[in-house]
Structure 1
Amino acid sequence: MIYFVSLGPGDPELITLKALHTLQRADCIYTPVPTTSKGRHTSKAAEMMRSLGIREEQIQLYDLPMSKDRDGALEAYTLVADEVVRRQESEPEALLVIVAEGDCGFYSSSAYIGEHIEARGFTTHQLCGVPAFIACNSLLGGQLVQLEEQCTVIPGAATAEEWSRAWQSPHTIVVMKGSLCESEIKEAIQRYPERRWHYFEFVGMPKEFVTSDPEEIQGRTFPYFSIIISKCR
């Protein structure tokens, strides 16, 4: 069987019991290692699993290029999918897992890998997790949305019209991947001071940083793993 398992936003204790039990039983766990022009980085996913007692021999690392040019990442997803299919064909009883940080059904690389696997005639199963923006809001306390409020999630890229419509709405706006829209966010903070602005980096990880001070947000250089939550006062 082939599973996509959500690891949660970074804190190993936020993984679900169902996900943990599946990892413990897995014959092979395909795990991404971010790579950039500076080389191979540490795999946060692998670190999380090791801290949960997952055996080293279960973890199969694969390189995942991190770049605005998506060609390298798409090639990596195809290679992983092909490897999973080959192993499932040769070992039909094997339990194979592809892990994803956050939730595997929400802006996740699982979508690309899953499409390739399912196109080869195999069924995949998703185990849900805690999305990063839910973990972010828990640090603020209170409700992300309540009663008749709505929540719009923007994946770091939008048109000028979409940004304007978002900030002028009475609803909660969540922006993922802050590094892709740093200038738009900083401009909006100046233009819409009536909104509340909350900024998060590496939530659930050792480098976690949180602030609701607009001036402090303006002074940050947004990393890829940054999230902004904006609410009406």
Structure 2
Amino acid sequence: MQNRSGKVFGVALGPGDPELITLKALNCLKKVDKIYYPATETAKGSSDSFSLVILKELNLEESRFVPITVPMSKDRSYAEKAYAELFLKVQADAFAGKQVAIVSEGDISFFSTFSYLLDGLNSNNIDFEMIPGVPAFVLGGSVGKLPLCTLKDKLLIVPDIESEEELQTLLSKNETVVLMKISKVRNWIKDFIKKHDMKFFYGEYLGTEKQFSCADIKSLEARRIPYFAIIIFYGNNRPLRPEEK
């Protein structure tokens, strides 16, 4: 009979700064038998992982690190295959009585690899726990030194925008709109900001050594927007500019 005394932990690492991991998450990583971390396989065959950078700063035993490699591709079948293979490994670990962690940057339930394992964990009665963390847009609010929302403000988080018209509609209905995965809109978003004189915060690679942020269009115009970037648009809760007072 299989031993099902093991447990799986979904552990959030925070947005990039190792000091922003929670105490609960760090204590969990210190005790588990394995730590699975996401890594991206580039077109040139190399591997890249922001999670690994964070893990190495936490003084953990690196022999427990196991990469989850997902090829860079718009074809989701490659990612789905990687998630299916990961689940089988994690299931085998749990049935063998091991304690294992699957880590992710940001929060564990927010655009996280762990989300794709939940159906399998639940349907196979595998004991698991999710440990939350700080997502990038929350760090963005702090770096930008403005509130994301106050009182009855509506906050909307959008991973993909198809058009300027769609964004304009969303901005008209919410006080704060956070755009994530904005490389898709890089061809027109700067002109949109200038055209509408938007109050915004831009941040890329937040919490890492490559962090850059700005709140003026002149600084943003010189940037090539990468995948790991966000823009926060402020509506009614934005502070007044000097000429508006």
TM-score over 0.5 for the pair? yes
8 Å contact from structure 2 (residues 156, 174) kept in 1: no
Contact 2:93-2:99 within 8 A present in 1 as well: no
Residue of structure 1 in register with 2:35 after alignment: 29
Give the aligned CA root-mean-square deviation in angstroms: 1.7
- Superposed, 1:78-93 pairs within 5 Å as 78-89=84-95, 91-92=96-97
- Deviation for aligned residue 1:170: 5.2
Match 1:185 to one of 181, 184, 189: 189
Give the stretch that moved more between structures: 58-67 or 2-11. Answer: 58-67
Deviation at 1:183, TM superposition (A): 2.8
Q: Deviations for 1:165-189, whole angstroms, at most 9, x for unmatched residues?
A: 1233451110111112223422421
Relative to structure 1, is the Cα distance of residues 36 and 42 closer, same or farther in structure 2, using a 3 angstrom cutoff? closer
Partner of 2:65: 59
- Stretches (4+) displaced over 6 A: none
Which residue in 2 is equivalent to 1:223? 226
Inter-CA distance 126–85: structure 2 relative to 1 (3 Å threshold): same
Deviations 1:94-141 (A, max 9, x none): 111100110011121211122233333323210000011001111111
CA distance in 2, matches of 1:122, 1:170: 40
Where do 1:200-215 residues align within 5 Å? Answer: 200-215=203-218
Following superposition, the deviation at residue 161 of structure 1 comes to: 4.9
Deviation at 1:39, TM superposition (A): 2.1
Question: What does 1:1-233 correspond to in 2, within 5 Å?
Answer: 1-89=7-95, 91-92=96-97, 94-158=98-162, 161-169=165-173, 171-193=175-197, 195-232=198-235, 233=238
AA in 1 matched with 2:107: D
Q: Deviations over 1:59-107 (max 9, x none)?
A: 1112122332222111111111111001211x22x11110011001112
Residues 139/121 of structure 1: CA separation in 2 closer, same or farther (3 Å cut): same
* Aligned-partner Cα distance in 1 for 2:105–2:154: 25
SS in 2 for 1:39: coil
Partner secondary structure for residue 183 of structure 1: coil
Indicate conservation of the 8 Å contact 2:42/2:48, yes or no. Answer: no
SS of residue matched to 2:207: coil
CA contact (8 A) 2:155 2:174 kept: no
- Cα gap change, 1:205 to 1:77, in 2 (>3 Å): same
What is the TM-score when the length of structure 1 is the normalising length? 0.92
Residue 3 of structure 2 corresponds to none
Superposition deviation, residue 40 in structure 1:
2.1
* Partner-residue secondary structure (3-state), 1:57: helix
Would the aligned equivalents of 1:156 and 1:179 in 2 still touch at CA under 8 Å?
no
Q: Secondary structure at the match of 2:9?
A: strand
- Output the CA distance in 1 between the equivalents of 2:46 and 2:225: 21
Q: Distance in 2 between matches of 1:120 and 1:219?
A: 51
TM-score normalised by length of structure 2 = 0.88
2: CA distance, partners of 1:64 / 1:215: 36
